[in-house]
Amino acid sequence: MHPIPTWINNSQDALRVLTTTYNSNFEIHNIFDEITIRATLQLINSVSRNYVQYDHISPLINKISAMSSSLSKVIEIKNTGKEKKPINIISLKECNQLIKKTIPMMIAKCSFLEHKSPQNLKESFHLIIDEAHNILSEASVREAETWKDYRLELFEEIIKEGRKFGYFVTISSQRPFDISPTIISQLHNYFIHRLVNENDLFF
């Protein structure tokens, strides 16, 4: 460590003695740790320049940190090239309830934006959601109202606007009554098998 002079006169001298900031070693175990660190450093930079209010952005950083821990247990980022399979099956049986809602939302948003972009050459994309009442439910006590609203609005937008871009959604559920009425109202074809609950049959 450089000796600290009694008076620092320029930025280069200051950087050399700021060992805590510029020579810190971060333990990064996965990509989500890196996202959390980058977001936190960006927050510090933005607040120091008066670009943002700390109280407005801090909850977002806390949400990133909380989600990172859960996502890192079920997602591993790999560089497998650009080869894409015609069918991808994603199982969420090892996920907790929060991640069961988050991952489909991420997949739906990214695939929808990619499919409707002018660069896309594929004619159609089919998103099939099994156990849809777990993902498209309006009744949820485990997530904040704003987060639930965003999740439902995203799927409602996709199911309303997707057809004109060739993006189609198929849902399967034994509890259709739990699914958002807006989503149910946009379905064109139904296959009903052994439903006995009156509310489900009504929907």
Examine the domain organization and report whether 25 and 121 are in the same domain: no
Is the residue at 90 inside a domain? no
pLDDT for 112 equals: 93
Examine the domain organization and report whether 60 and 112 are in the same domain: no
Please give the tally of structural domains in the chain: 2
**Global pTM value:** 0.68
- CA–CA separation, 66 and 69 (whole Å): 6
Question: What is the residue range of 29's domain?
Answer: 11-74
Examine the domain organization and report whether 37 and 70 are in the same domain: yes
In sign, the C-alpha dihedral spanning 157, 158, 160, 166 is: positive
Examine the domain organization and report whether 112 and 55 are in the same domain: no
Domain boundary among 42, 74, 106: 74
Contact between residue 129 and residue 172 where contact means Cβ atoms under 8 Å apart: yes
Is the residue at 180 inside a domain? yes
pLDDT for 191 equals: 87
Examine the domain organization and report whether 101 and 197 are in the same domain: yes
- How do the pLDDT tens digits run along the chain, 203 residues long? 555 556 777 777 776 766 655 556 667 777 888 888 888 888 888 888 888 888 888 887 888 887 787 788 787 777 766 667 788 888 888 788 778 888 888 899 999 999 988 888 888 899 999 988 888 887 765 666 676 788 888 999 998 888 889 999 999 988 888 888 888 888 888 888 888 888 888 87
Question: Measuring CA to CA, which residue among 131, 51, 63 is closest to residue 97?
Answer: 131
C-alpha distances in angstroms, 58 versus 102, 109, 149?
Answer: 20, 24, 20
Examine the domain organization and report whether 54 and 115 are in the same domain: no
Examine the domain organization and report whether 35 and 125 are in the same domain: no
Examine the domain organization and report whether 162 and 112 are in the same domain: yes
- CA–CA separation, 38 and 166 (whole Å): 36
Contact between residue 129 and residue 164 where contact means Cβ atoms under 8 Å apart: no
Is the residue at 166 inside a domain? yes
Is the residue at 144 inside a domain? yes
pLDDT for 109 equals: 92
Is the residue at 5 inside a domain? no
Q: What angle do CA 156, 32, 103 make, to 5 degrees?
A: 25
Examine the domain organization and report whether 127 and 33 are in the same domain: no
Examine the domain organization and report whether 116 and 183 are in the same domain: yes
Phi, psi for residue 72 in degrees, rounded to 5: -65, -20
Contact between residue 150 and residue 100 where contact means Cβ atoms under 8 Å apart: no
DSSP 136: S
Examine the domain organization and report whether 70 and 130 are in the same domain: no
